[in-house]
Amino acid sequence: MGAFVFYDRDLSWLSFNERVLLEADKIQVPLMERIRFLSIYSSNLDEFYRVRMPAILALERIQKETFIYQQASDIITRQLNSFGKILTGALIPALRECGVHLVYNEYLPLQLVPAINEYFYHHVAAFIQPVLLEGKVDFFPENNQLYVAAVVQQTSGIESIYIINIPVSNISRFLKFEVTEISYIIFLEDVVKQCLKFLFPGKTIDGAYNVKITRDAELDLLDEYEGDLAEKMEKQLTRRDAGLATRFLYEPGIPLRHLQKIIKTFSLHEASIVEGGSHHNLKDLAQLPISMPEMNYPAWPSIHSPVLGIVNTLFEKISQQDVLINVPYHSYDTVLRFFNEAAIDERVTEIYTTLYRVASDSRIGFALISAAKNGKKVSVVVELKARFDEANNIRWAKRMKAAGVRIIYSINALKVHAKIALIKRNGTEQPYLGLLATGNLNESTARFYTDHILLTAYQPMLLEMNKLFGFLSKRKKPGEEDKLHFKHLLVAQFNLLQRFTALIDREIRHAAEGISASITIKLNNLEEERLISKLYEASNAGVRIQLIVRGICRLVPGVAGQSEHISVIRIIDRYLEHGRVFIFHNNGSPEVYLGSADWMNRNIYRRIEVCFPVYSEDVRKQLISLIDLQLNDSIQAVRINNEQNNEKVPADDRNIRSQEAIYKMLAAL
C-alpha cells in the first residue's frame, strides 16, 4: 500500500469547490443560478476555514516538512481572483443589462442618499453598537459576522478605530430601491458606511473597511457515557462561535498600521490574514431581492411515483414489491406517507428510525410524535453531532421526547450516519416494513439533493435491521462481545469494509480468469486508503473501474502501474449529487448496493453506516440506467485527471446532460 500514490484530501476538496466556481462562469446557466453558485462557493470556503484549516495548521506544526497550508492558500487565492472576475466582469454587468444595478465597490448613487439616510434612522440605528479599540477592549468579534472598521479622527487630531457591527441577523443584507426602470440593490454595510457621519458628528471619517473573522468550529466532547448528552452539547454550542480565529478577512486599502492594531487587539496572529474583496460573506448573494423567473432554471415539477397505482395504501404496495424513490426527481411525498401511514395504521406497534439532520419544520418529526401519542412504541436514534445541525436536532429530540418518543443518542465517539427506518406490524405475514436511504430523512434537503430511498418488505434484511436497532439502543461501541452478524446489510464497524473488499476481490479473480470484470461506484467523497488501494489492485488486475465522485477524491486515476483502468468524473448541476451507488459486474449478473457510506476514514471507522443490496430486478435495472446516463454526461461532467484538474469531457453527438436526462426518463415511466 505504501507504494501507491494518493492525493491530499484538502487540496482535492478545493478542486471540487473550484468546479462549483466554474459553473458560475457558464453563460448558458441562468443568471441567478450563476450567482447562487458563487454563493455556494463562498459558503463552502467559509466552512473550509472553520473545519479544515485548523486541522491543516495543526498538522503543519507536527510535521514541519509538509506544505499543504501554503498550497491550499495559493489555490484559494487563485480561486478568489477568479471569483472576483466572474462577479465584477460578468455577473454584475449582466444584471445591469436586465435593469438591476447591484452597487458593488462603488460610490452610492447620489439620488439614493436621502432615502438611505432615512432607512438608516428608521431601521438600522437601533442595532448599531460601535466599539472603540482603545485600552482593554471588552468585545469579542463573532464568527463570520460582518463588521466595519471605521477610522475616526478625534477633535484632538488623534486617530481612533471603531468596530461597528452590521446587523444582518436583524435586517436584510440587501436594500432595494426602484428608480424609473432601474432596481438598485445596496449592501447593508454600505448603508452603515454612508451613515457613519451620524454616529460621529463633527468628526472626520478617514476610512471605513469591511472585516470579518472566521473561527474554528470543532466541538470538544469527551467520550463519556454518563449524563445528559443533549445538555452537554448545548453548552458546547454556546462556545462554538468563541473558537480560535482561523481567518481574518479584510477589505483592500486599509492602512497597515490600522490592520496591525486590529490583529493585536483581537489576538489574530495565529489566523490566516487574508485580503479579500470589497464585500464579505458573499454567500448572501443567493438572497438578492430579484424576482425574474427567466433568471432561474426552468421548473422541473416533482414526479409522483408511478408504482403506487390504485392501491389503497403505500404499505400494501410495499408488501407486493420494492419501491424506489429517486429524489428530487420523484416527490418526497411518498417518504412522508411512509411515516404518516405508520402513525395511524392500527396494526403498527413499533417504529424505529435514525435522524441525522432533521428538517427545521420536519413532517417526519410530527408523524413520529403523532405515532407515539397514538400508542405506538417509537424509538428514534438522533445524532446530536451532525455538524452545524446540532441545535436543531436537540430541539426536535426534546420535542419528540416530551411526546413519549424514546430518544436514543449515539455515543460521543461514534456517529450514527445510517439512513434507515423500520416498522413492525401485527396481523400480517410480513411483520416488518423498511426504509433504507442514501440521504437524510429531511424533506427540505430532498428538494435539491439527489438521493435514493428504497422501501421494502424483504423480511431477512429487515430482521437484520431490527438487530441493528437493538444494538444502537444499548449505546455501546461495537466489539467482539456483540456477536452481531449481517448477511444482507453492510454495516460499518461490523462488516462493511470486509464486504466491499470481498466484492472487489471477486472482480479481481474474474479478471485473472479472463472473465469480463468491472466496478462502477458513485460517492460524495473517496478518501480511505485501504479501499483505494484495493481499487488500484483491481485496476492492475485488469478490472475496468468507473468512478463518479462529487467531492474529495484521493485516488489518482490514469497512472501507469497503479490506475490505468480507472476513470473519475465529477458532476455539478442544478441538484447536488448525493447518492452512493455501488455496482459490481459479477460475471454479467450485476450486484447493486446503495447506502449512506462514503469511502472516508470517518465513515468506515468512526460511524455506524448502512449499505444494502438491491434485490428487485426492476429497481436494479433502473439504478443501472441512471448511472449509465451519468457516466455518459458530456455537458455537466468533468474528468478528474492525475493532477486533480477538472477537465471538460469531450462533447459527443448525444449531448447528454444527465440530470435532465434522468428527469425525462423517470417522468416517462
Apex 67 CA angle, 63 and 71, nearest 5: 150
Task: Name the 3-class secondary structure at 172.
Answer: coil
Strand order in the sheet with 100-102: 100-102, 182-187, 174-179
CA 303 to mean position of chain CA atoms: 24
Apex 37 CA angle, 661 and 79, nearest 5: 120
Rg (CA), the chain: 27
Cα-based distances in Å from 298 to 32, 284, 292, 301, 545: 12, 22, 12, 10, 35
Strand order in the sheet with 272-275: 131-132, 159-165, 147-153, 204-215, 245-250, 272-275
**Distance (Å, whole) CA 147 – CA 161:** 12
Q: What DSSP character marks residue 351?
A: E
Q: Which of 417, 510, 565, 578 is catalytic?
A: 417
Task: Name the 3-class secondary structure at 272.
Answer: strand
Find where cell 458563487 sits: 38
Q: Which three cell numbers stand for residue 203?
A: 468628526
Q: How many other C-beta atoms can be found within 10 angstroms of the C-beta atom of residue 444?
A: 16
Apex 242 CA angle, 227 and 62, nearest 5: 90
417 flagged as catalytic? yes
Burial class (CB within 10 angstroms; exposed 0-12, middle 13-18, buried 19+) of 95: buried
Burial class (CB within 10 angstroms; exposed 0-12, middle 13-18, buried 19+) of 390: buried
State which amino acid sits at residue 445: T
The residues that are catalytic are 417
